[in-house]
Structure 1
């Protein structure tokens, strides 16, 4: 057995804890081979694109289009220790300008008088860069992206902009090859633009273990490495963050939530890996916490489509092999598709959100009455002033279980936050809406006070859309070192026959055989859950707490039950997938986030609460003798 490669991840998104990288570098020292960080979400790409557009509208061509905090908050204080320990750094902090990020790092190295460190940038993901027009008309072979079909790309897909509608940004999701090539050429720090999150982990493993397509188990290794990247790319979400059994992490030894341990994977040459965290840190690494993260933001678990491989996680199995150490095995890999997923952003009008605190008896009813009155009042003003009506309007009484829809049970609450959101093409119309929110405190219901953030302002309504383009239309580029010349990365072969549409079958979750007697219990007593977003799609992963519970969970939690439970947000389809190896089910809900994280008007625009809604709302019927007394509460 070769020495495992140890990779730690300190950032799950742009805004993660500034103490995370310091923790991993100081506590792991020279034992950490690679430090990786994920900064780019769909929302982040929208923020960067909007910032760039504002700058260009002001006539400023030059600006910072990468994640500058990576340089100021991570590299500046930690570079001496990273260099001393021999730890290499890989991150997608390059954002919309990886080359500019590389140059900024090289300037920092000069300022700190640190020599011998080679910096590389992987770029070329901006597929609009060579287009004469930033519209879909510029692409000859662009198709929608379906979250529930790998061959019918238009099936239940998110909406695309009109062919002639201007696009702010459009970036392809690259794989690991460019980063691996940079490491092969001696790079110590590699920055990228839009890559799949797992590529930050897959690339150093390709480099270290010399994995090659000629090896018979190459795609299985890539699949396992991709799963390792998927597990740790969201930071503490595999070490007790966002965990159903939250008390285990919150009150864990060494500080609990206040000192959460960031994740580390120890990967062997065969692709098998152990998930762990630094010693003497809070949080928990268990089969339950890792299972939840594996289910996070996945679609069809048999076809987790990546640029370099198709990951099949249906038969993945976990084993606790030590304190806060979980072994992950069983991932299968297949030749990738001919397509590359792209993340696009376009502008569709403006939106505005305002908040009021409403207290006292009948708080929910008062709040909804006020919201309705404000809407009618402003609509009349638009009519009187010859303005178009609001394109859309949404109000929520937060604190009254509004996110549960018809399943909400808190009509008696004495304190709610009324949240109003409007969508319009004219900022002047939205400013009028903003001016009419605060006066309700004196001319409407009693017990109203401001939300504390002052008068709201209109913001661009950015819309994210996913799509597919052929790999033949885009290639990654690489530049290594100060005097490095641009290099073009060629794609490895892909599956032209689309055999991924007919993957091997695996044993399905069996039907229950017990005849009863049965008792009902809330799903949370017998299952864990995790949910997340992919554009306007949410997934809800449900994991049985014990394998013997799974057949009964499967029988009780059907697509029909999930549709009924989540119909207050889900306006599309519900599809159930099975993961027998993890004793889990995954539900994919299309058109369930009000347009997606950037443009949605609902409070939970990324589906983060969806699994907890289902766990606490759905009843499951199990044999009485199968449940512990505690589970029947």
Structure 2
């Protein structure tokens, strides 16, 4: 059936990948040539964002300060809607976003107040709620959920404890627990006439899937044979564009192609648009006169970003199997996508829990001159030893953990594989956690002291401030515990979940033939850096990082499989990865996905590592790991 918009396809553009993304991007997608959107969507939330918002909210509640701050994304109103509402109405572009954060109803009320202020009529605002699993509780413990909560494994749907992130114990206070809701509430709100829909925590792709369910009228009873495949394809489209410029050359391995692309390159990066078709296939593109690029490489990298098992991308409404996805360059900055497979959703919702666990601090010093690396290591060691001695004198416990990183020497990211030992400028980073704030306040002072009492060439890098150590933990809760509702005007409507299979059918998704491996005894091979024959993209899921490796040409794939094994990645990344390494295959994309557990020092909120979210891991791997290929296949610009 044609979309309700009456157009041949549904055009959806995403202007925000996270809270810190440029608010100017929204104007680009509203005004630039080649946009012409049916829907403008924005993803503001990440585990870190939810943790920071929850911390601020609970601080206000503890001090009984109910007027200082709000619990939704103010930037959405102040820097986007306030500027673009007249044009959005004129263009008949609807807006979907998770900017409601911890207070979708408050966000809805603020938007309606803004509409009145701008004297804009006939724009209806809806809020989708139900993700807050703590409801009216300010702070609680794991005991509140002990009958329902299930640990979440990044590696197995059968052994849910395998390499799972740590849970709160010893009654650490949980400050927020939000379920990743699906897309049905958004679709229902649009069906009821909403022009703007704000949500709290939903799966990232839901802001795209919701409009497509509404536009095409997808229901299990109507699309019996294709329903889950259509939801899977829509989810893939949402996954590709929800990280903004990641699909249009941002963070791309061949970064120069994006940095120096036409129409301003990095300075004018184009944000992504999908043109979704009735059959579930879609095209990824961007506004015409913008920088960046949309290629098979940029889209493939984003597909692998922050994924685990590519056959089991488990979402609230569907299980997405992306192993057979195929990408085709059909024009300048136009990539055609097809091949997503979908399966019935599980009985569970993934949840984002945040708990408090003591205090943390990190500080930096600038160290220059000859032997900068050695000086930084000596200063860092001295700071910690001095602080430990002071703690002992004051009858206080030792630091729970600490970390010394001489940044600029490659040690933090490359470990024993580092090469930049002779550098003459280093940023020394010293971090620690402790149960008492005053212990870290003392350490903060000691981090500053070396400017005058230790190595020559030492300068200030900023005043360190102890902060609450908040920790993210993923888990599963039964869908029956999350009641999705949307509020439009004075009407509230509950949304029923699709039925699910209590026999856990998702464990029986079919296997595919393995990617062929180059023979072990093949001769005449030469070594080249992995980056010469592959792209790489990495991301985080709690304390887990994935490293996606995509062959630049399918002919390289058997040799990559032969050279880049789980054992090779595990050894190369052993200075960071404290858990397991598992390799998954995506034959449709000519790619592999490596999942590294316990690799981020606890995760983005509480890690003491420089790269708390594993964003650099893929570049570390492709620039450091060798692959053996036939000499006549070596690219002209190969890194030997």
TM over 0.5: yes
Q: 2:51 aligns with which of 28, 46, 49?
A: 46
2:238 to 229, 238, 241: 229
Query: Which residue of the other structure, out of 67, 71, 74, is the alignment partner of 1:68?
Result: 74
Q: Secondary structure at the match of 1:405?
A: helix
Does residue 17 of the first structure (1) align with residue 17 of the second (2)?
no
- TM-score normalised by the chain length of structure 1: 0.98
Secondary structure of residue in 2 paired with 1:396: strand
- Deviation per residue, 1:305-360 (Å, 9 max, x gap): 00000000000000001100000000000000000000000000011111001001
Tell me if 1:156 matches 2:163. yes
Q: What secondary structure, in the 3-state scheme, does the structure 2 residue paired with 1:629 have?
A: coil
Alignment partner, residue 538 of structure 1:
545
* CA deviation after TM superposition for structure 1 residue 632, in Å: 5.4
Q: How does 1:248-267 map to 2 (within 5 A)?
A: 248-267=257-276
Q: Residue in 2 aligned with 1:193?
A: 200
2:215 alignment partner in structure 1 = 208
**SS state of the match for residue 333, structure 1?**
strand
In structure 1, the partner of 2:113 is 107
Match of 2:419 among 409, 417, 422: 409
Query: Which residue, out of 608, 627, 630, partners 1:623?
Result: 630
Residue 427 to residue 165, structure 1, CA distance change in 2 (3 Å):
closer
Contact 1:516–1:624, Cα closer than 8 Å, also in 2: no
Decide which of 595, 598, 602 is 1:588's aligned counterpart: 595
SS of 2:447's partner is: coil
Displacement after TM superposition at 1:630 (Å): 2.5
Deviations 1:496-521 (A, max 9, x none): 22121111121211022583311100
Runs of 4+ in structure 1 displaced over 6 angstroms? none
Write the deviation string for residues 453-481 of structure 1: whole angstroms up to 9, x where unpaired.
Answer: 2x211011010000001111111111012
CA contact (8 A) 1:11 1:17 kept: yes
User: Please, which of 541, 550, 553 is the counterpart of residue 557 of structure 2?
Assistant: 550
Report the Cα distance in structure 2 between the residues aligned to 1:165 and 1:42, rounded to whole angstroms. Answer: 18
1:129 — aligned with what? Answer: 135
Q: CA deviation at 1:132?
A: 9.3
Check conservation: 1:520, 1:632, Cα contact below 8 A.
no
* 1:131-181, Cα deviation, whole Å (9 max, x unpaired): 697222112211100111112211110011127332000000000000000
Q: Give 5+ residue unaligned stretches, structure 1.
A: none
Task: Measure how far apart 1:369 and its partner are.
Answer: 0.3
Q: What is the Cα deviation at residue 281 of structure 1?
A: 0.3
In the alignment, what sits opposite 1:576?
583
> Could you say which residue in structure 1 is the equivalent of 2:383?
374
- In 2 relative to 1, CA 379–10 (structure 1 residues): closer, same or farther, beyond 3 Å? same
The within-5 A match list for 1:282-431 is: 282-402=291-411, 403-431=413-441
Paired with 2:639 and 2:376, the residues of 1 have a C-alpha distance of 36
Aligned pair partner of 1:527 in 522, 530, 534: 534
1:96 is matched with: 102
Deviation at 1:69, TM superposition (A): 0.7
Distance 2:227 2:360 in 1: 48
Distance 1:237 1:193 in 2: 23
Q: Displacement of 1:31 after TM fit?
A: 1.9
Partners of 2:148 and 2:171 lie apart in 1 by 15
Choose 468-477 or 591-600, whichever is displaced more.
468-477
Q: Distance in 1 between matches of 2:517 and 2:322?
A: 21
Contact 1:137-1:163 at 8 Å conserved across structures = no
Displacement, 1:442?
A: 1.6
Partners of 2:366 and 2:459 within 8 A in 1: yes
C-alpha deviation, 1:53, in angstroms? 1.4
Change (3 A) 1:397 1:225: same
Unpaired segments of 5 or more residues in structure 2?
Answer: 3-7
Matched, 1:81 2:87: yes
Kindly indicate whether the alpha-carbon contact (under 8 Å) linking 1:346 and 1:464 is maintained by their aligned counterparts in 2. yes
2:5 corresponding residue in structure 1? none
- 2:558 alignment partner, SS class: helix
Write out aligned runs for 1:22-41 (5 A). Answer: 22-28=27-33, 31-41=36-46
Partner of residue 612, structure 2: 605
Q: Normalising to structure 2: TM-score of the pair?
A: 0.97
The whole-number CA distance in structure 2 between the counterparts of 1:336 and 1:11 is: 27
Q: Retained in 2: the 8 A contact 1:30–1:87? A: no
Equivalent residue of 2:378, what SS? Answer: helix
Distance 2:170 2:181 in 1: 24
Q: 1:116 aligns with which of 122, 143, 168?
A: 122
- Alpha-carbon deviation of 1:575? 0.4
The answer to whether the 8 Å contact 1:349/1:423 transfers is yes
1:401 deviation in Å?
0.5
Contact 1:167 1:346 in 2 (8 A): yes
Give the secondary structure class of the aligned counterpart of 1:486: strand
